[in-house]
Amino acid sequence: MQEIELKFLVPESRLKGLMRQTHVKSSQVTQLAAHYYDTPDQQLAQAGIGLRIRKEGDTWVQTIKAGGDGIAARLEHNAVLDNEQVQTMLDNNELTPDLTIYEDTPIAAALADFKLKKLAKMLTRLYVTDVERTTRLLTESNEDETDNCIEMAYDQGKIIHGTDDSLRKAIQEIEFELVSGDLDFLFTTAKTWCKRYKLCLSTVTKAENGGLLINGQNHSPAVNANLGQLQIDKDSSAPAFIRAVVHNCLLQILPNSSAIVAGSIDDDHILQLGIGIDRLRTALKAFTDFSDEINPEWLPILKQTATLLSDYYQFAYINTQIEPELQACGAPAVDWTTDIENIKITPINTLQANDFQITLLELIAFTMSDPSIEPQTDQLARDKLTKVLSKKHKKCLKTNKQADEVSDEVNVADNDHTESDLLNQLRDLRYISEFSTPLLSKKKAKKKTKRWLKRLIKAQKALEQLNDDNQHQQFYELKSRTDANALYGAGWFTAILTDDQRHIDARLAKFADSSTFW
């Protein structure tokens, strides 16, 4: 079967209030002791699969979970085990999962890449969880006399290393799982609780947390964009296409956001989250008329979030990346700690904001909604994409020409503004093109498509480097007013900027001369 659930982290400041709502007369408290299994090199985890044997009250249940049809969906198979057999295996320290029960089940496809007999011999208990789960049912009656029903589960406990019980990781999360009824009820309920208790979405499973524990990591690595996960076909309708694109963007956004709300201050998480949001904003703007279900309030919230992340990232990147490089070249040290501490809104503050979390929930709900009920379901996406790409391409060429004209003038501010516009337009064109190629790129013209995209990306990256160097120069120039050591960095980037333009002009010229793939 497929479970549909939303998981959230609970901030300490709202825990008492939330506990009052979870621990009511109708709620039930269950002790859950789970043993998680994988190969020593975590082959199951790499395939997105979690395998456990868990005691739920007085019953032992073997559960396997794998990826489902949507972001909030997971394939799940549960098998009740014989208590006496489990106890005998526990007494002999031989408790292991039985993989034969998955033959001829929906979960079999997730295990298709494994030889089950070989896998069974390799399985080992990597970690255990000791959790107190408090559950209650939230229901709502429909007009047709059926009930919408959600199981709310609050988990508090710990993950314990399988061979060293001194290594532990705390668990404090709340889940909302749709038991029956409409998907809208799940998201409406989740939004209500999210607003009330400032809950933050998390895609990190207990299995993933266990893997982090045994690997000595606090958070999973940053997730980059993966266009290989963009699931669309040639005959996708416009509403189906935009849902697939938003889904692909969320696959980059949600893991990085989850890491940050869990405490990560890693530059890569912030960078990749920012890129994911930029890709999403580009898609929502470019394909806004592909669906009637796009909420116009999403864009300003996403823009504000991206801006706040960028403000923090600039200082953090200079401190962790630029400073060591300059000092290796003989520059005196510049301390950026105070500048970073003076930023009032940090990445975790930014992402904990209710409006951002609600927007994420609405975007997930959008991707899981049925595109076939929209008025535009009879319109093919590919018939609309050519117009979108052509319009954006012409705008890029026009701005590029304006940049050439402005560069001959003395007004530096105008030049910087035009180059910034061109960079944004090139970035948008790149993302739109990457989303569109599965529908518009013909088999015989794959080389042409790759060449065009390669030239576009090179032009974008060259202009992006110029923009970054210009910003770094301005940061060091401003810093030098209070710290003379920053003069070295200001001079360094001034020198680099004088060498950038020729390289950029060459990249832009190649791009402008390239014939499009659509």
Give the pLDDT confidence of 107-139 residue by residue, as tens digits.
888 899 999 899 999 999 999 999 999 999 999
Indicate the pTM of the whole model: 0.92
Reported as a single tens digit per residue, the pLDDT across 319-344 is: 999 999 999 999 999 999 999 989 98
Q: Compute the Cα dihedral for 104, 109, 110, 112 and give only its sign.
A: positive
pLDDT at 445: 76
Cα distances (angstroms) measured from residue 464 to each of 80, 426, 431, 435, 491: 56, 10, 15, 21, 20
pLDDT of 413 reads 52
Taking alpha carbons only, the member of 101, 181, 123, 99 closest to residue 147 is 181
60, burial (CB in 10 Å: exposed 0-12, middle 13-18, buried 19+): buried
The pLDDT, as a whole number, for residue 267 is 94
In this prediction, residue 3 carries a pLDDT of: 87
Report how far residue 255's alpha carbon sits from residue 272's, in angstroms, rounded to the nearest whole number. 10
Return the amino acid letter for 254. Answer: L
Cβ partners under 8 Å of residue 509, min gap 6: none
| Amino acid 146: pLDDT | 73
pLDDT digits (tens, 9 = 90+) for 455-465: 999 999 999 99
pLDDT for 405 beyond 90: no
Q: Name the CA dihedral angle for 385, 427, 424, 268, rounded to a multiple of 10 degrees.
A: 140
Q: How far apart are CA 362 and CA 468, in angstroms?
A: 33
Instruction: Report residue 410's pLDDT band, with 50, 70 and 90 as the boundaries.
Output: very low
pLDDT of 409 over the 60 cut: no
Nearest 10 degrees: Cα torsion 298, 299, 301, 307 = 150
Provide the token pair at 54: 């868990």
State percent of the chain over pLDDT 70. Answer: 97
- Per-residue confidence (pLDDT) for residue 503, from 0 to 100: 82
